[in-house]
Structure 1
Amino acid sequence: MDTIDKKLNALFDGKVVRKDLVHRIKKGTNVPTFVLEFLLARYCASDDEAEIQAGMEAVLDTLNDNYVRPNEANKAQSKVATKGKYRFIDKVHVNYVEKNRRHWAALENFDSRKVAISEKFYRDNDRLLQGGLWAEVTIAYNEIEDDDYAFYIEDLRPIQLSRFNFDQYCEGRQACSRDEWMSFILRSVGLEPGKLAHRVKMHFITRLLPLVEPNFNFIELGPRGTGKSYFFSEFSPYSTLISGGQATKATLFYNNQRKKIGLVGFWDTVAFDEVGGIKVKDHDTIQIMKDFMANGRFSRGVEVIADASMAFVGNLDLSVDQIVNSEVFDLFQPLPKEFDLAIMDRFACYLPGWEMPKNSSEFLTNNYGFITDYLAEAFHYQLKHTNRYEEVSKRIRLGKAVEGRDEKGIKKTVAAFLKILHPSGSPSDEEFEEYVAYAVEARRRVKEQMNKRKSDDEFAKINLSYINSDGEEVIIYCPESRLAPATQEPVRRDIHGDEETVVVATSAEDIPAKGSVFDDVLKKPAVPAESVNLQPEAQLQEQHFTIHYGATGYSYESIISPYLEGAKAIEIEDPYIRLTHQIQNFVRFCEAVIKTPSVKTIRLITSYDDDTDVKEMSDRLGELKQSLLEMDIELDLKVNKHMHDREIRIDNGWIIKIGRGLDFFQKPDSWFSVGTNDLMLRKCLETKVDIFKNS
């Protein structure tokens, strides 16, 4: 333990955990981070290596005995029925069912949505009613045959925090310096601050801003493999990550038929991964998004107000140097065509993802950090209950080039920095100026790209500045574009002249005049837009995302079809293709595969256990084999008694891993409900999906 570790343990005893232990176990298990950290805090709260090793074994034993793994729901239910009761680690949701006039618990991996629960549990743990709560839960079997439920909850102990003391959190912060606190935060997300430059530390803190500031519009575009989506998918249970697919107004904002608010009403942050792949179904979605991003409210027959921040992350396929020096491309190039200038103008902060280091174990910490759920609770509390905007407005002084949306974006960014780094106090003048300078740069990056796209001078005031403590005006530049003439003074065509006539967009008065380094570029004619291919050729990309509990818009076809191009054979390894509904899922999978004409062979490797009706399983797979032969496709079957891997291998080199295998859809509430036949409309269970190329 170093000095920071000792201080953190002294101030926040019981709320910290050694992050290297999390890394060691996480690599071999598909368990949520906060579940691992809960168990590690219980069994590995020691500095003695022997005790830690024993604790690690205890954690693994607990996971093996009590954690309900995907596709083991039937086994878990059988344990309860035969033993009378059993303790599990699972995520518990409590829903009020109007028809029955009572509350029912739903266990996610135990796969039962009608479990009786006592009022005291959801009265003491509000989060059971608000998105669910991970807990150690004792499930008992109901012996009374006349009752309409088989299981009830006998005991429930939350794993995630059910109560949070903000005053205690602030007291701990007051005992630390700003830099010590920043180290605490970075170690809590698994990074070692000593291996990062100060500017990179600020970038990582910036990724957290949408989690603490309501209605904060954030964008990060950059190379692959820098962990852009981790902060929204793994770090906080109050954020949700939408991975591609359709963005509809009913899902995101408000469902008029069900009279129910969408994702923005249930989450602190709604993040869009692979933003370039978003499909906008209708123009109304974009219009409502503009209204919501502007002021946190919109109208769809009813007036809706919500606090959710919106974050957009995606990949740049061109080098930043190429883009900023191009008269055609800009740093918003990956965004969908539906995202117009009005959407872009609402971004408060553009994080330069190209400055972030690639994911590497060398940047991971071996020291202590906050338990992830504790820090997420602190951020959630501040988003809902604290407002630093007025404090920033009284203290900040901005230059004359700063316009309305610039000012709002800059102030919200600074306010978010104060919430994370100074939750209960005020920063020094030097620290405050650092946050202001960073916020001005993040907003200027947005303004420069809009100015590049616009054919007139609407966004030409790009020289954003602030007044420092000495009363001097400081103009802030973006490092990547400071010496890029194509960005600072974009060349435009005169719409009334010929193609050789150019009009130079004037920025603020401090842009270098003609005769400077920009002169050569200004003499060049503008390139006709129609002669340039604005979009690079689409390429298949590796993907790593989470399908959340209750999500819709996924099917086997939507996940695997893009990666089947040129494939002749596909091999699926899944131990749970044995029960009726699992074989039906495999039939749907085959239906998705055979839509690719080049596929001629499907190989299935599966298994069975002592409870499997092997004859019935064999008969049904045999029927499918004959059916596929009529489609000129061979089904090659192989059955192993013992296997656990779930993997789809395509002979063109792509590998697709789905944590739950093919069985990631919820059972329909009724066979006459929407989603029974169209999997894109069926609700999913939570699972991770990894798609990568076999090296």
Structure 2
Amino acid sequence: MSNLDTKICDVFAGLVVRKDLVKTVKGNAIVPSYVLEYLLGQYCATNDEDSIESGIQTVKEILAKHYVHRNEAGLIRSTIREKGRHKVIDKVSVALNDKKDCYEMSFSNLGIKKVLIDAGTVKKHPKFLVGGVWVIADVEYDHIEDKDASPWVLGTIKPIQMSHFDYESYIESRKQFSLDEWIDVLVQSIGFNPDYFGRRSKLMQLVRLIPFCERNYNLIELGPKGTGKSHIYSEFSPHGILISGGEVTVPKLFVSNAANGKIGLVGYWDAVAFDEFAGKKKKVDKSLVDIMKNYMANKSFSRGVETLGADASMVFVGNTEHSLPYMLKHSDLFDALPEKFYDSAFLDRLHCYIPGWEVDIIRGEMFSSGYGFVVDYLAEILRHLRNQDFSDQYKEHFSLSTDISTRDRDGINKTFSGLMKILFPQGGATSEEIEAILQFSMEGRKRVKDQLFRIDSTYADVNFSFTDKSGKEKAVSTLEEIEYPNYFHQTAIETNEGLPETDLPKSNGIELAASDKAPSRPIRSTPAIDAVELKEQHLTFMENQRGVSYDELIGPYIKGAKHITITDPYIRLFYQARNLMELMETIVKNKALEDEVIVSLVTVEDEFKGEDQRNFLEQIQSSMFTVGIKFAYSFDTTGSQHARHIVTDTGWKISLDRGLDIFQQYDMNDTFQLSNRLQKHRACKAFEVTFIKV
């Protein structure tokens, strides 16, 4: 157990579970994680290994005996008949039989229908009426001669979700964790190992939780396959429902006129997520788009004379068809959406756009084996937080630009409020912490607005900035704006230059002519090395930024050097030695074949793995000798060596605040991943570099 695991178990005793246990007990049971963690929370909410082992066996026995597999439904029904009663774990739904004036329950896997359930139970658990709920139920068998009567009788029924919790205790317990610790607790609770994520990537995972704690929050995430976009909405909470984007209808989602105005999913669930939302050729009902636009803007909808309201958040997740630079050059970041949803009025109602291309494809080692909240407990906490509003907590420290519209402010405020609820439910955030969250929230809305500017020329450019109490203005940029400035700052027309006139985008139903070009926005400067003239400069790189390599960042400044000194106290572990080897490759590329270069490394000997460390460095030494590089290393023993820099005999000093460790973790064993072979395809950590002429 890590120190954090120990602390979680001590502070939240009985409310946490080891996250790898879900896979251990799941077997072939097709149930959401929150169902399994509900059971694990009953028997394995401890860090005592003997109790965990005993609890695992108990949960496995419960699943084996009571979970209903579809292919064993006949056997379970027979067991109920022979024994007279049997407890089952199954997903159930309820419908009103208006001819008999009664409620009837259906068991999904067990395959039985028309089981009577009393109105009081339905009133207590209204979600039975829509979408289905996982339950533990006693089912009885009582055959009677009446052909219309069902022999199946409901004994007891209990939805699989926490019935109560102590919110005040949660708040007091949160105060015992630093912000970094708390973020890691939440990431582990989701099921991921926080060691594989930077701060920015962790926040993106947590933004996925906002629909559960913020009313009427509209979120979209588009990106490559395999990044876990839909996982949270299908597995994390009993208060959210994930549906296929092509399976929803107006009656199912909002209200059914045919069923006497029966309200749909938005009236019963905290978050309604649309999976596989992207796909240009998908057929979409125009009336669904129209009623959805009204709901997302006004929290209300109507079909007929009555106007209804609901507070369900809407989440749209889908896969992109092209790479990020391709979309920026040839279309926009909403390019993959169905035609009916590729509507500026609909898109403008989105509060935040998670850049799915920044999220790593999930690998096996990224899942957590540490402790996190039983997800049902966290789901109830988030639901409780829906009643609170944290959107004004930045106003004491910062003010948004007057250029930002009301709709933009709503998007920023909702994302900010949601993150503050998740990270600081107890309050007490510092000005610096609030600033970081505000900036991240503004970026999520700016990504939406920037694409609207490309899609529809009637949208004006907006200055996304905020001002602190001293009057200093701080502009907000998206990462793609920094990485691809030449492609990013294109207007709706410029994006489509070279296309036939019939292919130009439409604005408000009117075809735009090439002469209607909107003025291009100024191109911001971006960190880049001047390949012709080397100069002193300071560069800052954002977390998850790609396109960075030693060749382009460092290569020009070491070209022609005959003696290079590398000072970095953290060349100890395998991945750190690999970073050094890749820098050596850059040196090889920038020397003449016939020249020799002396490279001296000053580092610190690892206290526990010094032998492995020496072995790595000696292998590099042997490899480099054959290409004319004399590599030598020495260990600093003063204990005061913290500097990280590269110095050349040509008069340049390259100061790296992270040393060579500028890349996030990637799978070094996967030969077929570009990130393993080309540095420019790796996501960076946040880092700074200064080039100084000495």
**1:165-184 → structure 2 map (5 Å cutoff):** 165-184=166-185
Instruction: Tell me the residue number matched to 1:376.
Output: 379
Instruction: Tell me the residue number matched to 1:216.
Output: 217
Aligned residues of 2:13 and 2:46 also touching (Cα < 8 A): no
How high is the TM-score relative to the length of structure 1?
A: 0.67
**1:550-561 → structure 2 map (5 Å cutoff):** none
In 1: Cα distance, 2:325 partner to 2:37 partner: 41
**What do the CA deviations read for 1:283-320 (whole angstroms, capped 9, x no partner)?**
32222121111121123221111111111111122211
In 2: Cα distance, 1:491 partner to 1:162 partner: 51
Given the alignment of the two structures, is residue 291 of structure 1 paired with residue 305 of structure 2, yes or no?
no
Change (3 A) 1:171 1:142: farther
Q: State the shift of 1:343 in Å.
A: 1.1
Aligned residues of 2:93 and 2:129 also touching (Cα < 8 A): yes
In 2: Cα distance, 1:168 partner to 1:125 partner: 26
**1:611-690 → structure 2 map (5 Å cutoff):** none
Change (3 A) 1:14 1:122: farther
Aligned partner letter, 1:206: V
Change (3 A) 1:142 1:163: farther
In 1: Cα distance, 2:125 partner to 2:517 partner: 63
In 1: Cα distance, 2:490 partner to 2:89 partner: 59
Change (3 A) 1:115 1:467: same
Q: State the shift of 1:396 in Å.
A: 4.5
**What do the CA deviations read for 1:639-689 (whole angstroms, capped 9, x no partner)?**
xxxxxxxxxxxxxxxxxxxxxxxxxxxxxxxxxxxxxxxxxxxxxxxxxxx
In 1: Cα distance, 2:154 partner to 2:15 partner: 27
Q: Which runs of 5+ in 1 are unaligned?
A: 518-695
Instruction: Tell me the residue number matched to 1:162.
Output: 163
Change (3 A) 1:354 1:152: same
SS in 2 for 1:71: helix
Change (3 A) 1:388 1:195: same
Q: RMSD in angstroms over aligned alpha carbons?
A: 3.1
Decide which of 346, 363, 366 is 1:363's aligned counterpart. Answer: 366
Aligned partner letter, 2:60: L
Aligned residues of 1:410 and 1:443 also touching (Cα < 8 A): yes
Q: State the shift of 1:472 in Å.
A: 1.1
**What do the CA deviations read for 1:564-594 (whole angstroms, capped 9, x no partner)?**
xxxxxxxxxxxxxxxxxxxxxxxxxxxxxxx
In 1: Cα distance, 2:157 partner to 2:427 partner: 37
Given the alignment of the two structures, is residue 273 of structure 1 paired with residue 287 of structure 2, yes or no?
no
Change (3 A) 1:404 1:233: same
Change (3 A) 1:131 1:247: closer
Aligned residues of 1:490 and 1:504 also touching (Cα < 8 A): yes
Instruction: Tell me the residue number matched to 2:227.
Output: 226
Aligned residues of 1:68 and 1:109 also touching (Cα < 8 A): yes
Instruction: Tell me the residue number matched to 1:308.
Output: 312
Instruction: Tell me the residue number matched to 2:345.
Output: 342
Change (3 A) 1:331 1:391: same
Aligned partner letter, 2:266: V
Aligned partner letter, 2:41: A
In 2: Cα distance, 1:246 partner to 1:179 partner: 40
Change (3 A) 1:337 1:82: same
Aligned residues of 2:394 and 2:434 also touching (Cα < 8 A): no
Q: Percent identity?
A: 38
**What do the CA deviations read for 1:473-511 (whole angstroms, capped 9, x no partner)?**
10011111234233224384799xx9997946244x795
Change (3 A) 1:168 1:97: farther
Q: State the shift of 1:261 in Å.
A: 2.0
Instruction: Tell me the residue number matched to 2:407.
Output: 405
How high is the TM-score relative to the length of structure 2?
A: 0.67
Aligned residues of 2:218 and 2:352 also touching (Cα < 8 A): yes
In 1: Cα distance, 2:339 partner to 2:127 partner: 38
Aligned partner letter, 2:400: L
Change (3 A) 1:406 1:47: closer
Bigger mean CA deviation after superposition, 463-472 or 299-308: 463-472
In 2: Cα distance, 1:133 partner to 1:336 partner: 30
Aligned partner letter, 1:471: G
Bigger mean CA deviation after superposition, 268-277 or 431-440: 268-277
Instruction: Tell me the residue number matched to 1:72.
Output: 72
In 2: Cα distance, 1:416 partner to 1:55 partner: 35
Instruction: Tell me the residue number matched to 2:20.
Output: 20
Change (3 A) 1:39 1:511: closer
SS in 2 for 1:76: helix
Q: State the shift of 1:45 in Å.
A: 4.4
**What do the CA deviations read for 1:541-584 (whole angstroms, capped 9, x no partner)?**
xxxxxxxxxxxxxxxxxxxxxxxxxxxxxxxxxxxxxxxxxxxx
Aligned residues of 1:449 and 1:487 also touching (Cα < 8 A): no
Instruction: Tell me the residue number matched to 2:572.
Output: none
In 1: Cα distance, 2:515 partner to 2:108 partner: 64
Q: State the shift of 1:75 in Å.
A: 1.7
**What do the CA deviations read for 1:369-426 (whole angstroms, capped 9, x no partner)?**
111111112222222x222335456665111331221111111110111121122424
What is the total number of aligned residue pairs between the two structures? 506
Aligned partner letter, 1:263: L
SS in 2 for 1:481: helix
SS in 1 for 2:401: coil
In 1: Cα distance, 2:186 partner to 2:296 partner: 28
Aligned residues of 2:67 and 2:89 also touching (Cα < 8 A): yes
Instruction: Tell me the residue number matched to 1:187.
Output: 188
Change (3 A) 1:491 1:86: closer
Instruction: Tell me the residue number matched to 1:437.
Output: 439
SS in 2 for 1:474: strand
Instruction: Tell me the residue number matched to 1:88.
Output: 88
Decide which of 413, 416, 422 is 1:414's aligned counterpart. Answer: 416
In 1: Cα distance, 2:351 partner to 2:115 partner: 45
Larger Cα Rg: Structure 1 or Structure 2? 2
Change (3 A) 1:77 1:502: closer
Aligned partner letter, 2:185: F
In 2: Cα distance, 1:512 partner to 1:121 partner: 62
Q: Which runs of 5+ in 2 are unaligned?
A: 502-511, 531-694
In 2: Cα distance, 1:344 partner to 1:417 partner: 22
Instruction: Tell me the residue number matched to 2:454.
Output: 452
Aligned residues of 1:94 and 1:104 also touching (Cα < 8 A): yes
**1:42-57 → structure 2 map (5 Å cutoff):** 42-49=42-49, 51-57=51-57
Change (3 A) 1:137 1:468: same
Aligned partner letter, 1:505: P
In 1: Cα distance, 2:396 partner to 2:246 partner: 42
Given the alignment of the two structures, is residue 505 of structure 1 paired with residue 543 of structure 2, yes or no?
no
In 1: Cα distance, 2:75 partner to 2:223 partner: 44
Change (3 A) 1:29 1:94: closer
Aligned residues of 1:466 and 1:475 also touching (Cα < 8 A): yes
Aligned residues of 1:492 and 1:505 also touching (Cα < 8 A): no
Aligned residues of 1:246 and 1:281 also touching (Cα < 8 A): no
Decide which of 368, 372, 390 is 1:388's aligned counterpart. Answer: 390
In 2: Cα distance, 1:35 partner to 1:500 partner: 56
Q: State the shift of 1:145 in Å.
A: 5.1
Q: State the shift of 1:18 in Å.
A: 0.7
Instruction: Tell me the residue number matched to 2:553.
Output: none
In 2: Cα distance, 1:118 partner to 1:408 partner: 42
In 1: Cα distance, 2:212 partner to 2:333 partner: 24
In 1: Cα distance, 2:245 partner to 2:286 partner: 17
Change (3 A) 1:492 1:118: closer
Aligned residues of 2:457 and 2:518 also touching (Cα < 8 A): no
SS in 2 for 1:30: coil
In 1: Cα distance, 2:64 partner to 2:346 partner: 48
Given the alignment of the two structures, is residue 3 of structure 1 paired with residue 7 of structure 2, yes or no?
no
